[in-house]
């Protein structure tokens, strides 16, 4: 080396993967039910490329009724928790999410549910 740094050059390169979430099934259609009867289904949330634990939050659609009232007919539950965990083999464990619908008023809608991690993704 002889105090001459120009003899050695180090080049680093890499690929950064952004964390993402996939769903199985990718779309959800709940069957019509009588008023005040709950319909429910389960989906698998498949996190990918999370390098640390993160917690999933859900934003549910709010519906405006004909009389101006507002309701939240959808609800979610995570029976095994809503934390994205990195397993010992470096992959992320799937989460189960139960989505249910119940309304005392007749409604039909198409809406989005947003699943958001702690970083706002």
Domain count, the chain: 1
Decide: 113 and 58 in contact? Cβ < 8 Å. Answer: yes
In a domain, 9, yes or no: no
CA distance 121 to 99: 21
In a domain, 74, yes or no: yes
In a domain, 23, yes or no: no
Decide: 25 and 46 in contact? Cβ < 8 Å. Answer: no
Q: pLDDT of 27-43, one tens digit each?
A: 888 888 999 999 999 99
Q: pLDDT of 72-84, one tens digit each?
A: 999 999 999 999 9
Range of the domain at 65: 39-116
Burial class (CB in 10 A: 0-12, 13-18, 19+), 94: middle
Residue 48, phi then psi, degrees to nearest 5? -135, 140
In a domain, 15, yes or no: no
In a domain, 11, yes or no: no
């Amino acid at each position: 080396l002889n105090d001459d740094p120009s003899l050695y050059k180090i080049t680093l390169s890499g690929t950064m993967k952004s964390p993402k979430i996939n769903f199985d099934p990718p779309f959800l259609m709940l069957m019509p039910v009588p008023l005040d009867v709950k319909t429910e289904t389960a989906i698998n949330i498949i996190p990918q490329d999370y390098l640390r634990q993160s917690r999933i939050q859900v934003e549910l659609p709010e519906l405006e009724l004909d009389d101006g009232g507002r309701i939240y007919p959808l609800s979610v539950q995570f029976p095994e928790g809503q934390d994205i965990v990195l397993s010992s083999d470096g992959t992320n464990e799937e989460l189960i999410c139960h989505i249910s619908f119940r309304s005392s008023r007749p409604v039909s809608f198409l809406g989005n549910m947003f699943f958001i991690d702690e970083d706002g993704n």
